[in-house]
Amino acid sequence: MLAYTIKRIGLGLLILIGVMFAMYAAVFIVPGNPARAALGPRATQEMIDRLTREMGLDQPYLVQVYNFFVNVLSGNLGIDVISNRPVATEIWEVLPNTLILCLVGLGWATLLAIPLGCLAVLKRGTWVDRAASLLSVSVISLPYYVVAIYALLIFAVQLNWLPAIGDGDPGDIGSQIRALILPAFAIGFTWVGYLARLVRASMLDVMGEPHIRTARAFGVPEWKIVTKYGLRIALIPTLSLLAVSLGGLISSAVFVEVIFSRPGIGKLVTAAVNLRNYPVVMGTVLVMTGIYVTLTIAADLLIARIDPRIRDAFRGA
């Protein structure tokens, strides 16, 4: 287990370093000075020179890469060229908001999808199964931002039940929860279908195995077999696929935040892209990639802990 853990973490770190290198190199591949791009067409040469010095762009490339790595490792992601505040602080301020949104969105989707998947397996081949799978496919393919905008139009603008924008008043938990409902609904929507499908598919794989057959022979009721023996094993592949797809969750959070004007990573980064604010974009991408890589490693380790076959397979490779 230890060898597997070290190898898995090492690979994750290597990927992160690769991403950092690629992003830093990309800025230099493009013609033009990033400082000039950040300041816009009306900047004077003096302003550009000053920012170039501040960003360390006048130093040799390798020195810059070295500085970049040292800074990132010490938690310094550079300075926002527009607001002049540290990028790390800006990210830290809005990150919890985004994480809460992702967690609540994924949470309600999971709570609904697992029973739906079980139901489809219990009633497999019947209209219930077909209806559940039709629902899953439709829900997966619908773009979440269209869902978000339609939900906004119906529940916030027409019915006026829930707030259309923002994340609620500071200190007022009730208004914050109300502001969370629509965005979390929009984010989780796709996942209901995705997860229900995963649970159903991985459970159907399990249902043919000998221990299930034995349980059936003992007269254990079908619903108990599905929930107690089937679900437990089916959760392993579900968990691993879930981890791989977490990047999609972050991506949908970006758009949902923009649509609902909800402070968070998505709003921060899209505003920065429009202003060509390099440090903020790079910092955000780095932090989110770091979180994503960490989560996939955690999921892999968890799966290896639950399922010894996987770490054995890795040792043999």
Partner 1 sequence: MPSGVLEILKRVTRDPLGLLGLVLVVIVIGAALFADAISPYDPARIDVLNKLQGPSAAHWLGTDQLGRDTLSRIIHGARVAMGIAVFSIGIGAFIGLILGILAGYGPRWLDAVLIFFFDSLSAIPLILFALTVIVILGPGTGTLIFVIALISIPVYGRLVRAQTLSLRRSEFILAEQSMGASLPRIVGIHLLPNVLGPLVILVSMDIPTVVALEAALSYLGLGVKPPTPSWGTILNDGYVSLRTNPSLVIAAGIPLVIATLGFTFFGEALRDALDPKLKGRRAS
Q: Does 134 bind partner 1 (CB under 8 A)?
A: yes
Minimum distance from residue 7 beta carbon to partner 1 (Å): 13
Reference 285, options 246, 257, 311, 247; nearest CA is 247
Sequence-ordered strand ranges (E) for the chain: none
Nearer to partner 1 among residue 52 and residue 289 (C-beta): 289
DSSP letter at 152? I
Q: Does 126 bind partner 1 (CB under 8 A)?
A: no
Q: Does 81 bind partner 1 (CB under 8 A)?
A: no
Compute CA distances 252 → 190, 245, 267, whole Å: 10, 11, 12
Task: Give the Cα separation of 236 and 242 in Å (integer).
Answer: 10
Q: CA 262, 265, 266, 272 torsion: positive or negative?
A: positive
Q: Does 165 bind partner 1 (CB under 8 A)?
A: no
Instruction: Give the one residue of 72, 259, 300, 311 binding partner 1; rule: CB under 8 A.
Output: 259
Task: Give the Cα separation of 108 and 104 in Å (integer).
Answer: 6
Nearer to partner 1 among residue 95 and residue 241 (C-beta): 241
Question: Could you tell me which stretch among 11-19, 40-48, 81-89, 221-229 binds partner 1 (CB under 8 A)?
Answer: 11-19
Compute CA distances 65 → 4, 22, 56, 57, 214, whole Å: 31, 11, 10, 10, 61
Task: Give the Cα separation of 134 and 153 in Å (integer).
Answer: 25
The backbone torsions φ and ψ at residue 79, rounded to the nearest 5 degrees and listed phi first, read -115, 135
Site string for partner 1, 213-252 (x = CB under 8 A): ----------------------------x--xx-xx-xx-
Q: Does 115 bind partner 1 (CB under 8 A)?
A: no
Minimum distance from residue 214 beta carbon to partner 1 (Å): 25
Which parts of this chain interact with partner 1 (CB under 8 A)? 11, 14-16, 18-19, 22-23, 26-27, 29-30, 134, 137-138, 140-143, 145-146, 149-150, 152-153, 157-158, 194, 197, 201, 204, 241, 244-245, 247-248, 250-251, 254-255, 258-259, 269-270, 272-274, 276, 278, 281-282, 284-285, 288-289, 292-293
